[in-house]
Amino acid sequence: MSSLQRGLVPDSAMMRTIMGHFGTGVTVVTAMADGEPVGMACNSFTSLSLDPPLVLFCAATSSSTWPKIQGARHYCVNILAEDGEQLCRTFASKPAPERYDGVGYSKAVTGAPVLDEALAYIDCEIVNEFDGGDHVIVVGKVVELGYREGSPLMFFRGGYGRYQV
């Protein structure tokens, strides 16, 4: 085992490198904006509180999708299954109108899209937003949940992987 590198300067490149060592689940955050489905890939997501049920995700301030989700005031976090890499890439890179091409979904209680391929979903209403530097920290009150059996898609050091249960 190699020794731990210490004393590194926390510039943006080093932050990206170090944070890449933290394996995360992969999600797509969706909403309905002006009657159209919108969504964005997101791996900055976590449970915040069990009582009351709260979750949070972080949206880049440079995101063109975030203002649409913000305006909807409701969103759905779709946790991707192990075969969801292409779906994640689609929601991370394609122009917004093309993200739903060939993607099936139904609507959650809030009206936000639940992706057919999701392993689980958390339907929320926005209850708070906080400044997080180049991101907005979005806190949502959970109003509905759902899941199916399977394994999640993971993201680690810039690549996708699978975790078998």
Work out the pLDDT band at 165, boundaries 50, 70, 90: low
Name the phi and psi angles at 45, rounded to 5. -140, 140
- For the chain, the maximum distance between any two Cα atoms, rounded to a whole number of angstroms, is 54
**Residue 31 is encoded by which pair of tokens?**
């909403």
Q: What is the dihedral of CA 90, 92, 98, 102, to 10 degrees?
A: 30
At 35-57, the pLDDT tens digits run 999 999 998 999 999 999 999 99
CATH for the stretch 25-147 = 2.30.110.10
Highest mean pLDDT among 9-18, 72-81, 91-100: 72-81
Contact partners, residue 12, CB within 8 Å, separation at least 6? none
Please give the model's pTM, rounded to 2 decimal places.
Answer: 0.93
How high is the pLDDT of residue 20? Answer: 87
> Is residue 27 predicted with pLDDT exceeding 80?
yes
Are 141 and 154 in contact by the 8 Å Cβ rule? The answer is: no
Average pLDDT (15-38) is 92
At 123-154, the pLDDT tens digits run 999 999 999 999 999 999 999 999 999 999 99
Are 121 and 28 in contact by the 8 Å Cβ rule? The answer is: no
Higher pLDDT, 73 or 2: 73
Residue type, 119: L
> What's the mean pLDDT when you consider all of the chain?
94
